[in-house]
């Protein structure tokens, strides 16, 4: 089905071999995949990697306080509700009509997911200090990450709401020469002493455009656990941290509100976009 939303056209596409599964596209860009019967099923590669971050953020089944910036179809919020019952979760989505569409067509009743309509950075700044265990940033305007969510001031706001052992994670998209991703690592390093990056080897080597999941925190990150989980995926990923990640970001400038720009335009066909 297709529907007009605040920022274009949304489409929910049924999956032929999974009768309870749907893919959400907005303006032709694949935003989310949800299986209503099995919220633990994470279809997209980068979402699986974000799932690994959530899985390793605390001992199994322990409830978490999770803020999701970027709503889509609330895939990861549903995942956390299924794997960590009793978690406090808030999803922030700018498009109110999209929120209404998802609530009506892909309901998440009884999962205790608080969905707010608003700007991601503004809503982040309204939360009390130390009130979040995991911050998941997965915001795209069309197929690009908005500039105001890429700066050191934004990362500083993220650090403020996280508790001492909290984890900041962001879905990035970039291709050779990976200038955007390198700058995002350098920017996170200006705020958080510990960082890691999950991505496929082809993307890390700049051989193709793709997703990179950035993880950062004040406390040491569970890199061995993330490495094992990412390596066991159907499409394995590498985890870079420590000296290799510092080399990856060497020479990159820290992004500020004054210098920030959106992520690169993806090539035709990426994110489910039609060929031009």
Q: Give the 3-state secondary structure of residue 20.
A: strand
Domains of the chain plus CATH, in order, are 40-265 (3.40.50.150)
pLDDT at 271: 58
Q: Write out pLDDT tens, residues 56-74.
A: 999 999 999 999 999 899 9
> Other C-beta atoms within 10 Å of 207: how many?
12
Q: What is the pLDDT of residue 140?
A: 93
**Which portions of the chain are predicted below pLDDT 50?**
273-276
Per-residue confidence (pLDDT) for residue 215, from 0 to 100? 98
Please report, for residues 82, 83, 195, 236, 269, the alpha-carbon distance to residue 57 in angstroms, rounded to integers and kept in the order given: 16, 12, 14, 20, 33
What does each C-alpha distance from 152 to 66, 168, 207, 258, 259 come to in angstroms?
21, 13, 28, 10, 10
Q: Tell me how crowded residue 193 is: count the other CB atoms within 10 A of its CB.
A: 10
Query: Taking Cα atoms as reference points, which of 47, 53, 46 lies closest to residue 34?
Result: 47
pLDDT score at 275:
33
Which one, of 229, 236, 225, 216, lies nearest residue 169 by Cα? 216
pLDDT score, position 175: 97
State how far the Cα of 2 lies from the Cα of 81, in Å rounded to an integer. Answer: 28
């Amino acid at each position: 089905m297709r529907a007009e939303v605040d920022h274009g056209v949304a489409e929910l596409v049924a999956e032929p071999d999974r009768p309870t599964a749907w893919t959400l596209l907005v303006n032709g860009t694949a935003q989310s995949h949800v299986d209503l019967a099995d919220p633990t099923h994470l279809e997209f590669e980068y979402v699986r990697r974000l799932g690994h971050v959530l899985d390793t953020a605390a001992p199994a089944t322990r409830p978490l306080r999770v803020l999701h910036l970027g709503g889509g179809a609330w895939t990861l919020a549903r995942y956390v509700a299924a794997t960590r019952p009793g978690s406090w979760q808030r999803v922030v989505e700018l498009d109110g009509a999209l929120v209404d569409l998802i609530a009506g067509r892909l309901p998440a009743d009884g999962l205790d997911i608080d969905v707010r309509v608003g700007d991601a950075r503004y809503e982040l700044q309204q939360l009390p200090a130390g009130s979040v265990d995991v911050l998941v940033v997965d915001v795209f305007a069309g197929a690009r990450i908005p500039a105001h969510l890429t700066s050191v001031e934004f990362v500083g706001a993220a650090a403020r709401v996280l508790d001492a052992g909290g984890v900041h994670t962001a879905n990035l998209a970039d291709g050779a020469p990976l200038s955007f991703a390198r700058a995002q690592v350098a920017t996170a390093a200006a705020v958080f002493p510990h960082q890691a990056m999950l991505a496929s080897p082809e993307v890390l080597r700049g051989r193709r455009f793709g997703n990179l999941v950035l993880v950062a925190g004040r406390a040491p990150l569970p890199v061995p656990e993330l490495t094992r989980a990412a390596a066991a995926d159907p499409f394995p990923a590498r985890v870079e941290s420590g000296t290799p990640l510092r080399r990856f970001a060497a020479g990159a400038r820290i992004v500020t509100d004054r210098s920030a720009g959106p992520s690169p335009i993806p090539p035709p066909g990426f994110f489910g976009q039609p060929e031009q």
